[in-house]
Amino acid sequence: MNLLVTVLGVVQGVGYRPFAARLAKELDIKGTVINKGGSVQIFAQGEEAALGIFIRDLSGRKPPGADVTQILTEPFSPGEEFKDFQIAASTGITEFTPLLPTDLPMCQSCAAELSDPQNRRFGYSFISCVDCGPRYSIMESIPYDRGTITMDCFPMCPACSKEYKGEGPDDRRRHAQTISCHDCGPQLILAESGRLFHKNEALSRSVEILSKGGILAVKGIGGYQLACRPDLPAAAGSLRILKNRGRKPFAVMFPTLNSIRTLCEVSPEEEKLLLSAARPIVLLSTNSATNNFCPAVSEGSRFLGAFLPYTALHQQLTDACGPLIMTSANLSGEPILFRDEDILNIDSPYLSGVLYNTRKIVTPLDDSVTRVVSGKDQIIRRSRGYVPSPVILAEKTPHTIFAAGGDLKSSFCLYQKDRAYLSQYFGDMDSYEVRKNYQDNILRMQGLFHLEPDILACDLHPLYRTSAVTAEMSGKGNLRKVLIQHHHAHAASVMAEHGIDSCIGVVFDGTGYGTDDAVWGGEFLVCKGAFFTREAHLDYVTLCGGDSAAKQADLAASCYLAAAGEELHHKDADVIRAALLEKTLTHQTSSMGRLFDAVSSILGICSVNSYEGECAVKLENAAAEALAEGILPYPLQFIITRGKDGITADPIALFRDIARSVRQGSNRKAVALGFHAAIVRMVADLCREIRIKSGENRVALSGGVFANLLLAQQCAAELNKDGFEVFQNESVPANDGGICLGQAWICGQMLK
């Protein structure tokens, strides 16, 4: 019996062809297996019963990194009988949209070889096999083969060539495209003070630099990272200066899970996430009693971003030095550096050396950031380890939709059939380099996945740079462009993830262009399919200063005080009053994000956002401390008004009450907790009222404000108690990094 078998899914770069060859040998099946485009194609010849077992086991016994989504079979007539089973040369021609492998962490077998003095790859910093190593970051085209990845410039030595052909003691490296060793693959190079060190000397010298408190640039899978010891204040402080970082917390890489446990609380769900194939940064609660890191690491955050080594080099460095701050090598606001020449050209007294290799990175990828909320994984930044895996949607579209996302935390989406392919996180589009990476990767992903958009979706904001990108694409291809309201896209990203077609969307963030030309950000939307109605929102407040109000929380607080008829204590009080009176560079906003900033400032907690959301984070910390210390919340509430234009919740009266609490000398932690409690009650009350009117019982919580764990959990708990079904973002960020999915989904609904 002869069968042509096509295996779809993540089946390249994961050792699938060697696996199929082993399975065929077990069952005495003759034929060939090839990579064809993004799929695997097998010509199989054998007994009917054996072929049945073969088809079953192609998915049932698949390699660890594989994800088989479909197996297609059809009879074929061979020109001649096969004599054996061979892995044949690949072809790039395919009619199927591929699923491509993510970069994979070092497997346990390679880790054992790395530390085994008797193994020929002992201490080799680029050890890999069919189950681990870089994949998407070094892929130039498909199919995934040695010649289409950046390993093609490293000819195999005789020993590696033998293993590649399956002639070694085991076949873990049979057709492993990243196969290499001390004799033939990438090698460590350390550039330090005009000198170059190589291989073991480079590693030992790098360990010495780190141990003595230096800062080292380390080439990882998706780009360069900056590393230093977290227990040395001078090192962490210098790193902040080098990156122009402000007070944003650093992530720390630990050598083992047990070493994380000495500093952090780790639940079973968090352990699973830390050890997952994505090896993301996981935000964990810290134990202050055992925390010997200097304050400059977390800058007062009650969470620590912890993660485990995902390359042999990371393991070697952390084994030798202990936990290390490991942060993207970039200036704040700029994208991660991934080209050797860019990092080697940095001339700074704070950078002690650059540890690199000559293997080219094709796709820059930051480390992904995640957390566990109510037992569920939640992605905060989606990049290495998750990209380019698609989000699988409940509905298929016959179109190919490009959705541009937003300008902050930018990412885009290509949606075809039931697959939404999200790009990696790029950063903020104000940066020229971010815009260049963004546009380069549009072409790259379209080429890899053979996707040519016929519909474009972008934000409603006329001045967004992502909107300009779609305008250019529309002009070149004469393509239809669909404008999507920002907060509707946030809510829709939750709907897309969870396969629901309607909900009450509670969307809280800092800014988003509204259909009335105001700046929205505290929204209650009833969403049905492609459409929404704005049922309630925070009442408008007039802010001045343009974009400055998003960074200077004391400016936002002064505008709220002026609206409340309170005295202003800002050093530029007269200028602020005049600007508000004359409507100079002012805008109206219903932003919950700006309200958080203003409250944080007036309570004396934080008055400047040195990074996005800092004031809100520190306000949440104060509320969490009150909760932990048994401090009762200060009584606060939103006044709800019902008018012809819908329902509004008054932030001005609430702010007036907060200003009064400050004059009375009330405990600011109690007020911070009371502010959170007032929002939770307001959310529950308005959702109940909207449910009565609309009959909708599902609630989607989204937007950057819901990065606030305390608020997100308490809102969900209160709504669940009231019988609502509550949904939150999980596979994509709740912040602007996830709105491209919502845009794509809305566009797909419009075209049904």
Q: What per-residue confidence (pLDDT) applies to 452?
A: 94
Q: Encoding tokens for residue 555?
A: 């400016």
Q: What are phi and psi of 25, to 5 degrees?
A: -65, -40
Element (H, E) at 226: strand 224-228
pLDDT-above-90 percentage for the chain: 88
Under 8 Å between Cβ of 690 and 536: yes
Tell me how far apart the alpha carbons of residues 699 and 593 are, in angstroms, rounded to a whole number: 20
pLDDT-above-70 percentage for the chain: 99
Q: Show the domains of the chain with their CATH numbers.
A: 2-87 (3.30.70.100), 100-186 (3.90.870.30), 189-369 (3.90.870.10), 383-482+738-750 (3.30.420.360), 504-732 (3.30.420.40)
Amino acid at position 194, single letter: G
Q: Which residues contact 450 (CB under 8 A, 6 or more apart)?
A: 37, 97, 98
Going across the sheet that includes 455-459, the strands are 413-422, 391-403, 455-459, 480-484
User: Minimal CA–CA distance to 430: which of 404, 403, 464, 471?
Assistant: 464
Q: Where are the alpha helices (DSSP H) in 251-323?
A: 257-261, 268-274, 295-298, 312-321
Q: Which residues contact 527 (CB under 8 A, 6 or more apart)?
A: 488, 491, 492, 495, 502, 503, 504, 505, 700
3 state SS for 663-680: HCCCCHHHHHHHHHHHHH
Q: Where are the beta strands (DSSP E) in 478-572?
A: 480-484, 502-513, 519-528, 531-538, 541-544
Q: What per-residue confidence (pLDDT) applies to 290?
A: 67
> Does residue 351 have a pLDDT over 80?
yes
> Does residue 645 have a pLDDT over 80?
no
Question: 172: how many CB neighbours lie within 10 A of its CB?
Answer: 21
The mean pLDDT of the chain is 95
Tell me how far apart the alpha carbons of residues 567 and 532 are, in angstroms, rounded to a whole number: 39
Beta bridge partners of 132: 129
Tell me how far apart the alpha carbons of residues 146 and 139 are, in angstroms, rounded to a whole number: 9
pLDDT digit string, tens, across residues 559-590: 999 999 999 989 999 999 999 999 999 999 99
Residue with tokens 């000495």: 262
CA dist list (Å): 176 to 18, 143, 520: 9, 14, 51
Under 8 Å between Cβ of 497 and 413: no
The pTM is what? 0.94
Query: Long-range contacts for 52-55 (Cβ within 8 Å, ≥24 apart)?
Result: 53/27, 54/5, 54/23, 54/24, 54/27, 54/29, 55/3, 55/5
Mean pLDDT of 359-369: 97
pLDDT digit string, tens, across residues 35-76: 888 789 999 999 999 999 999 999 999 988 888 989 999 998
Q: Which residues contact 141 (CB under 8 A, 6 or more apart)?
A: 92, 148, 447, 448
pLDDT digit string, tens, across residues 604-622: 999 999 999 999 999 999 9
